[in-house]
Amino acid sequence: MTNNGLACFSRRMATVTLLLIVVMLLLNAVLWLYPTLAGKDGWGLGFALTERQLSQIADSAALFPWWQKLGGIVLSSIPLLALASGLNHLRRLFQSYARGEYFARETAVHLGKVGRAVAIWVLLDFLCEPLLSLWVTQNAPVGERLITLSVTAPSFVALFLAACIAVIARILSQASEVDRENRTFI
């Protein structure tokens, strides 16, 4: 792929990443407003924390009062905001690549922040799940209230990828230092 083609592809990827951020946050809110979309009888939409909470209780979640739905949106959005931050750094990385800044120190910083944000997303997802499960079952009769906690294989994969991205970011940072030194000798 030529530099011009790579720049064009990077611009497209920056746009797709921005769309992904917006769709992810909007879809999360929509699923709390219309939980039957996430249920097993619905479209099966959802991801991460929202899906784990709503997939089993979609019918009763449709009857939640507005304040309980709003709380569900807020609690389930906390981890997604960390992920959105990481995706925004990924978008900025693609924008830098579109400008031809392949070995700039800022690109390594953006890539490192992507890895950090993915790790924080997994941690916040783990921490927010018990709070959210209490929130959605608070009006249930005594004995039917739940506290859930999930450790899933995708969480371990995400943590592994976050660590890999962090290592690659460090390598890119070293490469930018070498590139800068080489430019001073020329």
- Span 19-62, pLDDT tens digits: 999 999 999 999 999 888 876 666 666 777 888 888 777 778 77
Write down the pLDDT at residue 45: 67
36 secondary structure, DSSP code = G
Per-residue pLDDT, averaged over 85-94, amounts to 97
Q: 0.75 exceeded by the pTM?
A: yes
Mean of pLDDT over the chain = 89
| pLDDT confidence band for 177 (50 / 70 / 90) | confident
Write down the pLDDT at residue 94: 97
* Residue 136 token pair: 């959605």
